[in-house]
Amino acid sequence: MVGTIVETRKWQELLESGNQKSEILEDQRFETDSKFLRRMAKVVCEEGKENLRESVRKSNRHSWVLNLIPEFDSWRPSFLCGRQSKSGVAMRRWVLGESNVEMETGRFQRKKPHLRFCNRCHGKLGTEEHVMSFQCPRARRKKKEVFDFIFDKILMNFIAMEDEPKDINDQLKYLHEMEKVDYKACMRKIGELMSVIEEEILGEKRRRTSTRTVRAR
C-alpha cells in the first residue's frame, strides 16, 4: 500500500510538472497501473475538495467563500483575475484569510472575533461580507460599478433570481450559473473591488499612524 501511495505521488508530480503521458509511461511501473493511478489521483483531489468545502461550512468567518465559489471548481480562483495582477493578488489573500479586513487583522491584536469591529462603521463587525456590502462606505463608487456590472451579466445570462439582490453579496451565488466568459469577467471585477477595499483600509491605517505621530510630538 505504501509503495502504491509513493508511486501515486510520483505520478502526480510528473503530471503536474508538465510531462506528457508518453513520458510518464517510459517508467514501466506506470505502464500497467496508469489507469488505476489516474483514478487514485482523481479520488484524492475530490476528497481534498470535499474536505475543504466542509471546513469552510463549519467556519462562520469564511462562509462567504462558498457563495463566491459554491462548487470549488478550482483550488486557486485567483487565476481568473490573473495571478500577478492586483485583483488576482487581492482575491487570493481574501480567499486564504490573509486580507486586511478587521476580522482577519484582529487576530494579530488578540481581539476576540465579536470585538473585531469595522473602523469605518460603529458597531458593525469588520467581516468580508460587511466591507463588500453597501452598508460600509469603503469603495462605494467601485461597489456600485461592480454591482451594476454583475447585475447586467445576470440578466444577459437569463438567470432566475430568487429575490432581487440588494448588494454584491447577494449576487455571488449566481456567478457559477453564468457562461464561462461572463463568470471570469465578474470574478475579475470582484477582484478589482477587493483590491480597492484593501487600498482604502491601508490608507486608513497610514492616516491613523500619522495622526498618532503628530499627537506624540
Among candidate residues 94, 97, 122, the one with its CA nearest the CA of residue 192: 94
CA–CA gap between residue 25 and residue 15 (Å, rounded): 11
User: Residue 208 has what pLDDT?
Assistant: 85
Please give the Cα distance from 201 to 48 (Å, whole number). 33
How far are the Cα atoms of 5, 41, 43 from residue 24, in angstroms, in the given order?
16, 14, 20
The string over 158-180, giving b where at least 16 C-beta atoms fall within 10 Å of a residue's C-beta and e elsewhere, is eeeeeeebeebbbbbbbbeebee
pLDDT tens-place values along the chain, 217 residues long: 434 444 555 545 555 554 444 444 444 444 445 565 566 566 556 666 666 666 666 655 566 776 776 665 444 455 555 566 788 888 888 877 889 999 999 988 899 989 999 999 988 999 999 999 999 999 999 999 999 999 999 999 999 988 889 999 999 889 888 998 898 899 889 999 999 999 999 999 898 888 777 666 6
> CA-CA distance, 188 to 150, in Å (whole number)?
11
- d(CA 140, CA 135) in angstroms, rounded, equals 9
Bridge partners of 171?
none
**pLDDT of the residue at 63:** 65
- CA dist 193 and 156 (Å) reads 22
What is the pLDDT at residue 173? 85
How far apart are alpha carbons 78 and 28 in whole angstroms?
A: 38
pLDDT of residue 47: 65
What is the phi/psi pair of residue 125, to 5°?
A: -65, 140
Neighbour tally for 26: CB within 10 Å: 9
Cα atoms in the Cβ-side hemisphere of radius 13 Å centred on 202: 9
d(CA 46, CA 40): 10
- Nearest Cα neighbor of 120 from 191, 200, 199 is 200
Predicted pLDDT of residue 16: 54
Q: In which residue are the cell numbers 463608487 written? A: 141
